[in-house]
């Protein structure tokens, strides 16, 4: 929705009813972007896009180098462009500004040039400079890259995303000219399982996997419809009604990002998490890493500095369910297998 000042108005995140699993996964990724993003699968009309776009108003500000197209970090070499590094090596001063984390949409029909960027060969040859027009991966650096209907994305774009997600850098090559820039982003995808499954290589790149379904409770459905009707009728007033809740959540997310480094998880609990991953025959160590990170982010969000077994229980299905499949003919497990193994190893009653 657009207001009279031509500004986009998003439905308030704190006004969303239900879909707790999806909301939790998104908030934890804001607290710790290294969790690796969220894949959200669910029926049509369940509010996937509405919830994701409502994140925009919650995103914190970050320090960036002014006029840099890659949102370069002014101190972290892994998150800055080659141009900024060169300036630092030459002892040049950097103009630093604060900027809100961006949510960048990657449309299904996007071309490779639109996603990765383009090199102006003619200008490069005539003027001897590397003329580069940044793409969506440049804009998404240190932000969020959102792909709706990600399971319908062309295979060649999937490959590009895999390369960028694996290395944290995007490289564009043309006619012997190569340009690279940092591209570290939170990858959020949404889709309808009826329209096909994701390639396992891309699915594994998502740190968490949230499943959402159509609300069955008639009273809850009526409440959701009334909320949406009120927002469409008087969006400004509706947003004002949730302003304080929004601000409280924003402050909580900010403090959680600052305090995350102080959260600890017991060694024996880390052992048990890895034991669960081993029992489930999960390939690689990404499942172990993500579960540890997500549990710490949840504890921090709830203003605790020690991870509990309850924290691990709440996040472990989100972190592991999409890593279980080995047979391509099998459907996605809802988390039953993960819960069973968790209960055995932690001796825990759900």
Q: Are 140 and 183 in contact (CB under 8 A)?
A: yes
Lowest mean pLDDT among 56-70, 105-119, 135-149, 153-167: 153-167
Domain harbouring 118, CATH code: 3.40.50.300
Does one domain contain both 52 and 158? yes
255 pLDDT higher than 90: yes
Q: Around Cβ 114, how many Cβ atoms within 10 Å?
A: 16
The residue-averaged pLDDT of 139-155 equals 87
For position 323, what pLDDT does the model report?
87
- CATH number of the CATH domain containing 298: 1.10.8.80
In a domain, 48, yes or no: yes
Instruction: Kindly state whether residue 85 falls inside one of the protein's structural domains.
Output: no
Q: What is the average pLDDT across 124-150?
A: 80
Number of neighbouring beta carbons within 10 Å of residue 64: 24
Give which of 348, 271, 259, 283 is closest to 309, Cα–Cα.
348
Residue 317 has pLDDT above 90, yes or no: yes
- For this structure, is 270 an active site residue? no
Q: Which of 122, 63, 121 is nearest to 95 (CA)?
A: 63
- If pLDDT is split at 50, 70 and 90, which confidence band does 191 have? confident
- Kindly report, residue by residue over 38-94, the tens digit of the pLDDT: 999 887 777 788 888 898 889 888 899 988 889 999 888 888 888 888 888 888 888
Q: Which listed residue (205, 286, 293, 323) is catalytic?
A: 286
225 belongs to a structural domain: no
49 and 146 fall within a common domain:
yes
Answer with the one of 194, 212, 230 that is the final residue of a domain. Answer: 212
CA 321 to chain centre: 17
pLDDT given at position 6: 46
Question: End of a domain among 181, 212, 243?
Answer: 212
Looking at the structure of the chain, the number of domains it has is: 2
* Same-domain status, 270 and 138: no
Alpha helices by DSSP H, the chain: 20-31, 48-54, 82-89, 112-116, 121-127, 136-139, 155-167, 200-203, 218-233, 235-241, 243-259, 267-279, 286-301, 309-320, 336-346
Same domain assignment for residues 29 and 140: yes
pLDDT of residue 293: 96
pTM for the full predicted model? 0.86
Average of per-residue pLDDT across 316-343:
77
Residue 109: band (very low, low, confident or very high) from pLDDT cuts 50, 70, 90: confident
What is the extent of the structural domain holding 300?
A: 261-346
């Amino acid at each position: 929705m657009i207001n009279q000042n031509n500004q986009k108005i998003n439905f308030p995140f704190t006004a969303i009813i239900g879909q707790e699993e999806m909301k939790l996964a998104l908030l934890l990724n804001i607290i710790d972007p290294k969790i690796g993003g969220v894949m959200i699968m669910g029926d049509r009309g369940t509010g996937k896009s509405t919830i994701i776009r409502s994140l925009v108003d919650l995103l914190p500000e970050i320090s960036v180098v002014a006029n840099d197209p890659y949102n370069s970090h002014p101190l972290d070499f892994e998150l800055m462009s080659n141009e900024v590094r060169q300036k630092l090596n030459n002892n040049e001063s950097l103009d630093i500004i604060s900027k809100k984390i961006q949510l960048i949409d990657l449309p299904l029909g996007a071309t490779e040039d639109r996603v990765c960027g383009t090199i102006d060969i003619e200008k490069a040859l005539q003027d001897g400079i590397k003329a580069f027009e940044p793409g969506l991966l440049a804009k998404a650096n240190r932000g969020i890259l959102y792909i709706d209907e990600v399971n319908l994305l062309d295979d060649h774009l999937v490959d590009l995303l895999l390369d960028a997600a694996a290395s944290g850098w995007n490289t564009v090559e043309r006619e012997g000219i190569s340009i690279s820039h940092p591209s570290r982003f939170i990858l959020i995808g949404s889709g309808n399982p009826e329209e096909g499954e994701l390639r396992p290589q891309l699915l594994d790149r998502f740190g968490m996997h949230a499943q959402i379904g159509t609300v069955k409770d008639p009273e809850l459905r009526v409440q959701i419809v009334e909320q949406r009707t009120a927002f469409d009728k008087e969006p400004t007033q509706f947003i004002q009604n949730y302003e304080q809740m929004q601000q409280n959540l924003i402050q909580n997310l900010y403090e959680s990002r600052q305090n995350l480094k102080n959260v600890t998880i017991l060694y024996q609990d880390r052992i048990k998490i890895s034991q669960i991953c081993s029992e489930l025959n999960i390939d690689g160590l990404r499942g172990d890493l993500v579960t540890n990170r997500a549990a710490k982010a949840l504890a921090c969000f709830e203003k605790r500095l020690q991870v509990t077994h309850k924290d691990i229980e709440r996040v472990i299905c989100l972190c592991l369910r999409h890593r279980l499949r080995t047979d391509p003919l099998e459907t996605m497990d809802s988390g039953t297998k993960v819960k069973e193994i968790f209960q055995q190893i932690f001796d825990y009653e759900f």
